[in-house]
């Protein structure tokens, strides 16, 4: 990596990334760092022909412009966006932790109390962006960051988000979303797969995410050594072949919680929760205060 600094920050250790972006921990060498210390710096790597590179840049700029206008304790803050040495980058809030998918792959299991707390906080972030007329369109464990002490839970990545409708603005990623390898888990609602994502599409993705977290991480006496795949694979097969409604159907959790997940993941949008506020009110009743 040739870039030595961006906006008064130097790049430190590599935190993760994908095909087109990489995220580094950033440290300021200024006496008064503009965005605190440390931060996370997301670098865009432009690849492909002119049109492909142009689309990548527009997507990156779009993600930054959306996130920079959001202020919520359960949303990762993007402080700034710009160009440095021909590279584009975002300066973001640093979370001392990792993404939820990484936690799911670990064998350590969680209490239902902790799981519900995490789900509720993800839901509050989602409720907030919906009130700002933004459809996330990619709610999944990979896009949730959690601190090592579990006190901080934040939704991130607005790369394919759908913005409020204007006659000059269209959804540039109408059918985008995530299906896991081999189609084991799909976070995409039926209407989103057809290019008609709404707030209720995010609710569907949130319900699938809740189902996955509970199934993978719930502490069950005598079964806490089971890994992610042992917990998920057979249940995903049963769900995908219509033999059970949700992944956690056979697990020892309150029936009310199963009903929340079932309603959130209803294929028929008319039977699904209308908004996140209604879902969170139901979920809140199960949380131990």
Whether residue 126 sits in one domain with residue 86: no
Q: Which helix (H) or strand (E) holds 43?
A: strand 39-44
Overall number of domains in the chain:
2
Whether residue 117 sits in one domain with residue 173: yes
Residue 98 in tokens:
């990792």
**How many residues are there in the chain?**
289
Q: Output the pLDDT for position 271.
A: 97
Question: Is residue 289, in this structure, part of any structural domain at all?
Answer: no
Whether residue 89 sits in one domain with residue 179: no
Active site residues: 138
Whether residue 203 sits in one domain with residue 220: yes
Choosing from 65, 93, 121, the residue where a domain stops is 93
Please state the separation of Cα 166 from the chain's center in Å: 26
Q: Output the pLDDT for position 83.
A: 84
Q: Output the pLDDT for position 168.
A: 40
Dist CA 135 CA 1 (whole Å): 34
Question: Is residue 107, in this structure, part of any structural domain at all?
Answer: yes
Write out residues in the chain with pLDDT < 50, as ranges: 1-2, 166-168
Q: Output the pLDDT for position 288.
A: 75
Dist CA 271 CA 199 (whole Å): 14
Exposure on the CB side of residue 245, measured as CA atoms within 13 A:
14
Dist CA 266 CA 100 (whole Å): 24
For helices 255-264 and 199-217, what crossing angle results, to 10°? Answer: 140
Q: Output the pLDDT for position 173.
A: 60
Residue 26 in tokens:
């950033």
Let me know: does 120 contact 284? Beta carbons within 8 Å. yes
Which residue range is the domain that position 106 belongs to? Answer: 97-284
Q: Output the pLDDT for position 272.
A: 98
Let me know: does 213 contact 247? Beta carbons within 8 Å. no
Whether residue 171 sits in one domain with residue 39: no
Q: Output the pLDDT for position 2.
A: 47
* 25: CATH: 3.30.200.20
* 185: CATH: 1.10.510.10
Q: Are strands 39-44 and 78-84 parallel, antiparallel or unpaired?
A: unpaired
């Amino acid at each position: 990596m040739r870039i030595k600094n961006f906006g008064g920050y130097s790049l430190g250790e590599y935190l993760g990334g994908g095909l087109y972006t990489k995220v580094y921990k950033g440290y300021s060498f200024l006496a008064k760092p503009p965005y605190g210390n440390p931060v996370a710096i997301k670098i865009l790597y432009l690849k492909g022909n002119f049109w492909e590179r142009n689309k990548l840049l527009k997507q990156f700029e779009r993600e930054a412009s959306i996130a920079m206008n959001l202020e919520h304790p359960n949303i990762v803050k993007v402080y700034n966006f710009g160009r440095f040495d021909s590279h584009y980058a975002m300066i973001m809030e640093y979370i001392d932790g990792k993404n939820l998918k990484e936690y799911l792959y670990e064998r350590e299991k969680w209490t239902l109390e902790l799981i519900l707390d995490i789900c509720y906080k993800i839901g509050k972030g989602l409720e907030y962006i919906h009130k700002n007329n933004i459809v996330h369109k990619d709610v999944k464990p990979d896009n949730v960051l959690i601190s090592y002490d579990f006190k901080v839970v934040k939704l991130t990545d607005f790369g394919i988000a759908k913005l409020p409708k204007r006659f000059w603005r269209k959804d540039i990623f109408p059918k985008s979303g995530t299906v896991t390898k081999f189609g084991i888990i799909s976070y995409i609602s039926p209407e989103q797969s057809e290019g008609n994502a709404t707030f209720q599409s995010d609710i569907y993705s949130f319900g699938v995410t809740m189902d996955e977290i509970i199934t993978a991480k719930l502490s069950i006496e005598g079964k806490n050594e089971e890994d992610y795949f042992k917990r998920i694979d057979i249940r995903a097969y049963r769900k995908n072949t219509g033999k059970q409604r949700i992944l956690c159907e056979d697990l020892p959790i309150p029936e009310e919680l199963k009903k929340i997940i079932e309603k959130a993941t209803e294929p028929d949008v008319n039977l699904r929760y209308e908004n996140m506020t209604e879902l969170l009110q139901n979920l809140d009743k199960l949380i131990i205060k």
